[in-house]
Structure 1
Amino acid sequence: MQTASNVIQDKAAAAAGLKAAVRILDKWRATGEQGESILRVSHSSYARARRGDLAEIKLDSDQLARISYLLNIHAALRMLFENPDNVYGFVSMANHNPYFNGRTPLEVIGTGDFAALYETFKRIDSLRGAQW
């Protein structure tokens, strides 16, 4: 049974995750449109997350999964690279591996396709040995 306390904690965790995801997307130099597509949030929700105004934000399970994959991509990049330029720049570099075919990971996930987000995570995670 979900208590009021659990609901508040879940909302706080979701808001913190969204805020972190938006900060990462900003460091990746994603456009607002890309960020909104990747996280499947409205323009107003994305703008509120950028401002840190998340009191009334409500996220569904798909949005939470997207945030989770984005945070896991970031964690994998932090394990792979020590240099912040690589941690934050990797997603903007052309990738000539078969799945990306010269596109950047940000271009691929920027389509908003959930499968692309999952596949991008899987391929980046595999670079570090996929030991999650």
Structure 2
Amino acid sequence: MGLPARHAEADITSGDAGRVALTFFFNLMEHWGCSKEQQCTLLGSIGNTTYFKYKKLPNVRLPHDTLERISYLMGVHKALRILFSNQPERAYEWVHKANAAPPFNGRSAMAYMLAGRVVDLADVRRYLDGVRG
């Protein structure tokens, strides 16, 4: 006998899932060279207390908004790793480079995402998914 269907999939609201998401996030932020302020904005304009709590990588049930933001950043990271599969360092640099394409209009993807809305993260992911084909 297996587990009941509702337990067959990982619970993305569990504390363990929160820790895994935060581990990914902070590793990516290190690769992207993001400041604490940028990281707080990307996580939804969280305060310093929450930021430093999250940095300890606790088993924490993350808010839906935070999970959604990290999910979009995972998609951005994945698309960049595929697009720049032969040049991984360019995958990490891309977010800081000016981009003439809409929706960036000369700004970098990072500057675009730092407007702070979830939709800004989604737009960058959608753009990269479109480029990737």
TM-score between both structures, scaled by the size of structure 2: 0.82
Q: Deviations over 1:49-92 (max 9, x none)?
A: 44xx2326341111100010001110111111121221100000
Partners of 2:16 and 2:59 within 8 A in 1:
no
Is the Cα–Cα contact under 8 Å of residues 73 and 124 in structure 1 kept in the other structure? yes
Q: Does 1:111 align with 2:86?
A: no
| Larger Cα-atom Rg | 2
Residue correspondences, number: 125
Report whether the alignment pairs 1:15 with 2:13. no
Unaligned residue ranges in structure 2 (runs of 5+): 1-5
Aligned-residue RMSD, C-alpha:
2.4
Whole-angstrom CA distance in 1 between matches of 2:126 and 2:91 = 16
Are the structure 2 counterparts of residues 94 and 8 from structure 1 closer, same or farther at C-alpha, using a change threshold of 3 Å?
A: closer
Q: State how 1:50-65 maps to structure 2 within 5 Å.
A: 50=55, 53-55=56-58, 57-65=60-68
Instruction: Name the structure 1 match of 2:78.
Output: 75
Q: Percent same amino acid at aligned positions?
A: 31
CA distance in 2, matches of 1:94, 1:66: 22
2:48 pairs with 1:43: yes
Secondary structure of 2:129 counterpart: helix
Could you state the TM-score of these two structures normalised by the residue count of structure 1? 0.82
Q: 1:123 aligns with which of 122, 127, 133?
A: 127
One-letter identity of the residue aligned with 1:65: E
Question: What is the alpha-carbon distance in structure 2 between the residues aligned to residue 8 and residue 107 of structure 1?
Answer: 29
Given residue 26 of structure 2, which amino acid in structure 1 is its aligned partner?
A: V
- Corresponding residue for residue 100 of structure 2: 96
Amino acid at match of 1:76: A
Structure 1: gaps of 5 or more residues = none
